Structure 1
């Protein structure tokens, strides 16, 4: 029996997975060049729209050195990193058909995706709190929400996400992968990795479910409470035009919130991971391509302060020439 056990262990080590194969979108793989171009344009639009229009303008114009725009630029920076963890590899799959990814790189991608994704939700909750204080407590706002508090909030969002996600990814890295290595996704989805393991994964599946629930519910409850109070305050505005303008802005924000929360709930808040492997790709694509593409329009193109700062920057460039 000892010899049999040694043989089994040796065979298991020999068949240990060293790399994974990302399945991508097999049904439309023949349209690789077209899909590469579409996703490349969407990726570049998301990056340039965010970087040049929000981050650069915020830090270049002293009038935008306020908590609202610091939070917004932090959100933009985080979202740039979030989509960069996924889209470049997807572009390689579409263009070159290279679907393999080393085991370590797969874990790094999974960690980066979840860490930055969780940070986005916490930052969104922080932004909601900022708007609540600005609209519902305007007299106390300058003393409560200053730049120091703003930077503490941003740091806390990153720290909480790091602590939450690191433990989970470490546990997944300790699983044994000795058989199937095809991930039915276009990136290293942690749920798919857990499903491919030949170890006992029930406890890790429940941990992943509880952490996803914690991240989504915590940020969602804060956001809903903040926006509920904002709506009540808006309803008390005397001018119908002011109410319409405020509701128009809130509806845009709520659209992005619905896309992000809806797709994430669909993907992650399911105790049984095997029920969702074939249906996650479309929902994840919304989170990594569609939502980042819409955000610059919603958060900046309708903002008069950003418009003015952008016009001033263009004017300065013309004067320099």
Structure 2
């Protein structure tokens, strides 16, 4: 047993990744590198706009700034390692590095699931109960909700990271994935992980099914309120906004639920990697576009910053 534990804690892992040495891989690498730069730029700009413009100092944009920060951390936890491995040709990752990837990934995935539910509640109150909005979504309350999302995500991540890395990995050290993710790690374990997988299902209910249900109910209530509006223009705009929000939510929760709430025997590496792209790379890119840059207040804040910078240079 001691030898098995020593092997686990002293050995590096190998990330097989998305890429091979083919020319097609260079195209995929270029696309992902572009997406990474665009994601960092979009979300950093969103945080800057919210910080600089006093008109964006509202609970909604406060929550959006946390979403942008989570997205920056999440994609930075995964893509730079992919890029470094592709350029260097080395695919090894240390035990500590893998542990950090799992911990940060689970923290951000869990925290973002809760934060998206909080954001849907914010929109529900703003549209369905506008007169009560200043009371129900006070600044200190939205701060508590954001802090709670982070805290619960961290606590959940600590538990799962400790359990996953405690399993002895006495078979191949090759992780058939582009980052250290729990389902891929469980495939390397040489003991039965059935009891732990039940714990994953419980976490899936708390962090995936319940928040997704809350978001769906909130948007159904929002749509019912929207359809009662007298202005056809307002109805069309609100319906379009809700539709785009739900598309991004489904793109995030759908693959996430499908990956984490299936038995280990049903997982295939190609399928898991394809699904993980949605909630680790694509949605962090789409979130600021869908939630923020389609909003006239954000566009006005961006215009003001650009104009002020031009005037300062002159």
- The TM-score, its normalising length taken from structure 1, stands at 0.92
Q: 2: CA distance between counterparts of 1:10 and 1:119? A: 35
Shift of 1:28: 6.6
Q: Distance in 1 between matches of 2:58 and 2:5?
A: 56
Q: Does 1:49 align with 2:42?
A: yes
Distance (whole Å) between structure 2 residues aligned to residue 320 and residue 182 of structure 1: 54
Match of 2:81 in 1: 89
Matching of residue 35 in structure 1 with residue 28 in structure 2: yes
Secondary structure of the corresponding residue to residue 73 of structure 1? helix
Q: CA offsets, 1:184-224, max 9 Å, x none?
A: 10000111212211233111121112212221012112111
Query: Hey, what's the Cα distance between the residues in 2 that align with 1:81 and 1:12?
Result: 33
Instruction: Select the residue among 90, 106, 127 that pairs with 2:119.
Output: 127
Equivalence for 2:179 = 187
- The match for 1:167 among 159, 163, 169 is 159
Give runs of aligned pairs for residues 137-156 of structure 1, distance below 5 A. Answer: 137-156=129-148
The answer to whether the Cα contact below 8 Å between 2:78 and 2:179 also exists between their aligned partners in 1 is yes
TM-score normalized by structure 2? 0.94
Match 1:235 to one of 227, 233, 236: 227
Aligned Cα RMSD in Å?
1.7
**Which 10-residue stretch deviates more, 94-103 or 145-154?**
94-103
User: Cα–Cα, structure 1 residues 217 and 13, in superposed 2: closer, same or farther, change >3 Å?
Assistant: closer
Distance 1:148 1:65 in 2: 12
Which sections of structure 1, spanning at least 5 residues, go unmatched?
Answer: 1-8
Task: Please list, as runs of the form range in 1=range in 2, the aligned pairs for 1:213-252 lying within 5 A after superposition.
Answer: 213-252=205-244
2:308 counterpart of 1:306: no
Q: 1:23 maps to what in 2?
A: 16
Residues 119-142 of structure 1: CA distance to partner in whole angstroms, max 9, x if unpaired?
Answer: 111110010010011001111111
Question: CA distance change for structure 1 residues 104 and 244 in 2, over 3 Å: closer, same or farther?
Answer: same
Aligned counterpart in structure 1 of residue 190 of structure 2, from 194, 198, 205: 198
When Rg is computed on C-alpha atoms for both structures, the one with the higher figure is: 1
* Contact 2:124-2:221 at 8 Å conserved across structures: yes
When residues 14 and 68 of structure 1 are mapped into structure 2, their CA distance, relative to the original with a 3 A threshold, is closer
Equivalent residue number for residue 266 of structure 2? 275
Give yes or no for contact 2:53–2:301 (8 Å, CA) kept in 1. yes
Tell me, in whole angstroms, the C-alpha distance in 2 between the residues paired with 1:13 and 1:143: 54
Instruction: Confirm or deny that 1:79 pairs with 2:71.
Output: yes
Where in structure 2 are the equivalents of 1:105-124 lying within 5 Å?
A: 105-124=97-116
2:203 corresponds to = 211
Query: Structure 1 residues 167, 14: closer, same or farther in 2, change over 3 A?
Result: closer
Residue 60 of structure 1: which of 44, 52, 55 is its match? 52
**Correspondence for 2:94:** 102
User: How many angstroms does 1:27 deviate by?
Assistant: 5.8
State the partner residue of 1:258. 250
SS in 2 for 1:21: strand
**Cα distance, 1:40 vs. partner?**
1.1
Distance 1:62 1:34 in 2: 42
Distance 1:234 1:213, change over 3 A: same
CA distance in 2, matches of 1:13, 1:119: 31
Large movers: runs of 4+ above 6 Å = none
